[in-house]
Amino acid sequence: MPDSRIITSNQQQLHHNLEPVVRRHLNTRFQRPYPDYSLEVFAQAKQRLSQHQGEIILDSFCGVGESTVNLARQYPNALVIGIDKSVARLNKHDDHYRQSGIDNYLLLRADVDDFWRLAVEDGWHLARHCLFYPNPWPKSCHFKRRIHGSPLFATLLALGGEVEVRSNWPIYLQEFAAALAIAGHSATLEEFTPKPSITPFERKYHESGQPLWQCVSQLDKFLS
């Protein structure tokens, strides 16, 4: 029986349309109007930020927030903001993942499509941006739902800082690195072994023997 945790895709190499799609998105602005709930959740983030002097780390697609609290422990002077659109996942945080004595983080139910744009419009500059195991959208026809195939890619770049994407599907990260290069940024892409796993998806993939990959780029630096 096939292992359902292993990604199967009709795409075995970089998407054939990657370059034109990325170039088009780098030259256009994503302008979907903001729903009220997105404005309200962003106001909550700003309220918390108004009491914070240090760096901001964003943990996008944080799921249950296990990585968020781990990042908060690792960076005690930063405010770590975990965002995910699934209330069911976020609701598991308090019972299973909260760590006593660590409170320099905030978990928000938010859609990255709105939150990232609001943060850029508000002038945020991130120290780090973690995107651990975003949904891979492995069907070739779903390329535009991947971060680098979406109109939001330019917004992600505008947030700045060190961006790190992790995945168990290397093609996703090869595409992400290729999209960064089109935008003028270098990246390192390598296989890694989590020590220890810091998200449930990471743990699940690692324990099932799958190789894991990470792509890191300093968005504040450009290729010369």
Ligand X SMILES: C[S@@+](CC[C@H](N)C(=O)[O-])C[C@H]1O[C@@H](n2cnc3c(N)ncnc32)[C@H](O)[C@@H]1O
Binding site for ligand X (CB under 6 A): 61-63, 83-86, 89, 111-113, 132-135, 199-202
* Least distance to ligand X, CB of residue 69, Å: 12
* Least distance to ligand X, CB of residue 88, Å: 9
CB count in 10 Å sphere of residue 204: 14
In this chain, which residue has its C-beta nearest to ligand X?
63
Nearer to ligand X, 19 or 113 (CB): 113
Nearer to ligand X, 33 or 223 (CB): 33
For 84, left (φ over 0), alpha (ψ -120 to 50), or beta? Answer: beta
3-state secondary structure of 46: helix
Q: Yes or no: say if 89 and 118 are a contact pair by the CB < 8 Å rule.
A: no
Nearer to ligand X, 158 or 181 (CB): 158
Rounded CA separation 84/223 (Å): 32
* Least distance to ligand X, CB of residue 132, Å: 4
How would you class 65 by CB atoms within 10 Å of its CB: exposed for 0-12, middle for 13-18, buried for 19 or more? Answer: buried
SS3 content of the chain, % helix, strand, coil (to 5): 40, 15, 45
Nearer to ligand X, 19 or 204 (CB): 204
Nearer to ligand X, 8 or 77 (CB): 8
